[in-house]
Amino acid sequence: MRAIVTVIGVDQVGIIAKVCGLLASMNINILDINQTVMQELFTMTMLVDTSACTTTYEDVNAALTAKGQEMGMSIRMQREDIFKAMHQI
């Protein structure tokens, strides 16, 4: 199943490394990454494959939220379908 991970917050060293490390630890495969920094606001969207993921959605999101709080950022994972529904006909 494909999902989108979004990371939003103040730019800092090691964001990608920390998020990717956490995703790898739950066996979530990254398919694509898009990232920009505008006026110190870091935004990243990642397309990931969760089919081999070892934990539930709730646990993944709990881990991402905890990591986000530690870094002072907002991090979450949502199923890709919702974005497709809203932005593609």
**Residue ranges binding another protein (CB under 8 A):** 4, 6, 8, 31-32, 34, 36, 43, 45, 47, 57-58, 61, 74, 76-88
- With 0-12 CB in 10 A as exposed, 13-18 as middle and 19+ as buried, what is 46? buried
Whichever of 22 and 83 has its CB closer to another protein, that residue is 83
Question: How near is the Cβ of 61 to another protein at its closest, in Å?
Answer: 6
User: How many CA atoms does the CB half-sphere of 26 hold within 13 Å?
Assistant: 23
Residue 87: CB minimum distance to another protein, A: 4
For another protein, the closer CB: 6 or 29: 6
Nearest residue to 60 via CA among 45, 69, 50: 50
- Which residue, chain included where needed, has tokens 């920390």? 18
Instruction: Give me the least distance between CB of 70 and another protein, in Å please.
Output: 19
